[in-house]
Amino acid sequence: MLVGSLFADRDGGPYIGVGYGTSKYNDDSLYESVKSDTSSAFTIYGGAYINKYFSVELGYAGFDDYKIDDTTSVNFNSTTVSVLGHYAFFDDMLDFYAKGGVGSIDASGLSADGFTITYGGGVGLRFTDWLGMKVAYDRYTFEYKSSSSGNHDMYIDFIYGALEFQF
C-alpha cells in the first residue's frame, strides 16, 4: 500500500521529457554498403495530457553520424507533432502507450529535408505526481529522391529511455 500511495495519477496537464538511446538507419540500398548504420540519439519533447487516455506532443530528435565510409557520414534531425493513446494500470503507476505523428526531417550529408511519418510505443512508470520515466521505441519513415538511383523509402528506428516531468 505504501508503494501504491507514492505513485501518481495522470489525469491531465503539461509535461516535458528528455531521452537518450540508440538508433539504426536503413538507407533502402541508396549506398552500396554502410560502414556503421547505428548511432546514439537524443530526444526532447513536451506535451499535454488531454485526459488519462490521450495526450498531444511536440518533439525533437537528433541522430548522430551514420558512417557511410571512412570519409562520408550522414546525420538526421526531426521535429514532429504526435498524438498518444495511453492505457494505465495499477492506479495509473504503469502506462502503456502508442503514438503516431507527422513532422519534418533534415538530412545533412544527403543535402535533403522533407516529410516524415513517425509511430511507436512505450511503457511509462510513474514515481511521484511530477516525475516518471519511460522506455520507448519510435520509427521515423521518410522518402529520399535521388536523381541517379530513384526513390528510396528510408527509416530510422530509435530505442530510448527518458525522464518525464509533469506539471
How many CA atoms does the CB half-sphere of 97 hold within 13 Å?
30
pLDDT for 106 beyond 70: yes
CA distance 99 to 23: 18
pLDDT on residue 67? 85
Percent of the chain's residues with pLDDT above 70? 89
CA distance 42 to 154: 19
**Per-residue pLDDT tens digits for 111-145:** 667 899 999 999 999 999 899 999 999 999 998 87
pLDDT on residue 152? 81
**Per-residue pLDDT tens digits for 43-57:** 999 999 998 899 999
Q: Report domain 2-137+153-166's class.
A: mainly beta
pLDDT on residue 145? 78
**Dmax over Cα atoms in the chain, in whole Å?**
64
- pTM here is 0.86
pLDDT on residue 70? 79
Question: Residue 2 corresponds to which cell in the numbers above?
Answer: 505504501
DSSP state of 147: T
At residue 8 the predicted structure's pLDDT band, cuts being 50, 70 and 90, is: very low
Domain ranges of the chain: 2-137+153-166
pLDDT for 6 beyond 90: no
